[in-house]
Amino acid sequence: MTADVKDSSTSLKWASKLKDYSQLMKFTLSFTVVFSCVICYLLAPKVVVYDWKMIILLFIAGMLVTGAANAINQAVEKDTDAVMKRTGKRPVASGRMSQQEAYLFALIAGALGVFMMWEFFNLSSALLSAFSLFLYAYIYTPLKKVSSIAVLVGAFPGALPCLIGWVAGNDDFSAPGWALFGIQFLWQFPHFWAIAWVAHGDYSKAGFKLLPADKGPTKFTALQAIMYSVLMIPVGLLPYYFGLTGKVSLIIVLICNLFMVVQSVRLYMAMDVKAARRVMFSSYIYLPIVLLALLADKM
């Protein structure tokens, strides 16, 4: 009976620790990031046969690198996470995990992920992965308390997974790869500003400066969201222009882009959290639909 209790207690501890590591690497966010990387890898013309072994290896390497960046982010932002309602229960912020443990996880995961990209794909994708990790963890993360330009800086590592996937598959930096990068790069502005609008109180409490206007949610912020949503339209046409996909995806991408413009305009007109939340959820839906439409048209 005592052995059963000990086994149960050990199992609970392991389950709790596994949950903490999942939160540390922001599993859902990391999955979304790696999803775009894998899709762009599959879009590369040199990837003719879908080798599940290579797809799984890319997914694991991507999760390791992205998880490492998120772990460093949480270790650095331990104190600010602790004062925000939406992040206060994270493992490092809550004290369930030490900063040293988070940094150690990041070191091992990041090094292993970059090594896998080099070993199984190519050096260029490995170097891009390392650069993306560095940019997110050591430039974007501390910059969030300094200036709203952090969103611009953060958009680069946020979009690099598309280019990493392309380079891993095609072993070059050709124009279609940059077009895929551009789609995800521009998408991040209405996406992040909508999140910052909804969570403005929490972010202000932590000292984060993520909205383009110092006064918080303003017409200027909404106009910026409209501007970047409009820019997404011509950039969204580039995969078709470069011959990467066909007319079906062109139509789907165009509809999705127009939908994002409409939601951003509605934000400008309403100027409230409800409208910002619509932009936020629309952006969540936008990216997987666009990426899957591009892939489906290639197939």
Q: Which alpha helices (H) appear in 98-206, and where do they start and end? A: 99-120, 123-134, 141-143, 150-170, 175-198, 200-206
Indicate whether 77 pLDDT > 90. Answer: no
Percent of the chain clearing pLDDT 70 (strictly above): 95
Could you read off the pLDDT of 216-273 as tens digits, one per residue? 788 999 999 999 999 999 999 999 999 988 899 999 999 999 999 999 999 999 999 9
Q: Which residues contact 206 (CB under 8 A, 6 or more apart)?
A: 77, 80, 81, 83, 84
Q: Which residues contact 116 (CB under 8 A, 6 or more apart)?
A: 57, 60, 61, 64
Q: Which residues contact 102 (CB under 8 A, 6 or more apart)?
A: 24, 71, 72, 74, 75, 91, 92
Percent of the chain clearing pLDDT 90 (strictly above): 65
Q: Which residues contact 280 (CB under 8 A, 6 or more apart)?
A: 191, 194, 195, 198
What's the per-residue H, E or C state across 18-63? HHHHHHHCCHHHHHHHHHHHHHHHHHCCCCCCCCHHHHHHHHHHHH
pLDDT for 4 equals 55
pLDDT for 3 equals 53
pLDDT for 20 equals 87
pLDDT for 240 equals 94
pLDDT for 206 equals 74
Give the CA angle between residues 113, 130, 296 to the nearest 5°: 70
Q: Higher pLDDT residue, 184 or 49?
A: 184
Lowest mean pLDDT among 169-178, 214-223, 271-280: 214-223
Nearest to 58 by CA among 162, 155, 187: 162
Is the model's pTM score more than 0.85?
Answer: yes
Q: Token digits for 63?
A: 């999760």
Please provide the average confidence, as pLDDT, over all residues in the chain.
Answer: 90
Could you read off the pLDDT of 10-60 as tens digits, one per residue? 667 778 888 988 999 988 889 999 999 999 999 999 998 889 999 999 999
Indicate whether 171 pLDDT > 60. Answer: yes
Indicate whether 209 pLDDT > 80. Answer: no
Indicate whether 274 pLDDT > 90. Answer: yes
Phi, psi of 173 (to 5 degrees): -110, 45
pLDDT for 160 equals 96
Binned at pLDDT 50, 70 and 90, residue 80 comes out as confident
Helix, strand, or coil (residue 145): coil
pLDDT for 190 equals 94
Fold annotation for 7-171 = Tetracycline Repressor; domain 2 (1.10.357)
| Euclidean distance between CA atoms 62 and 160, whole angstroms | 11
pLDDT for 15 equals 81
- Chain-centroid distance of CA 126 in Å reads 18
Q: Token digits for 22?
A: 């999942």
Nearest to 170 by CA among 43, 35, 296, 36: 43
pLDDT for 2 equals 56
Query: Residue ranges of the domains in the chain?
Result: 7-171, 174-299
Binned at pLDDT 50, 70 and 90, residue 139 comes out as very high
Instruction: Please state the rounded mean pLDDT for residues 195-219.
Output: 80
Instruction: Please state the rounded mean pLDDT for residues 107-114.
Output: 97
The secondary structure of the chain in percent helix, strand, coil, rounded to multiples of 5, reads: 80, 0, 20
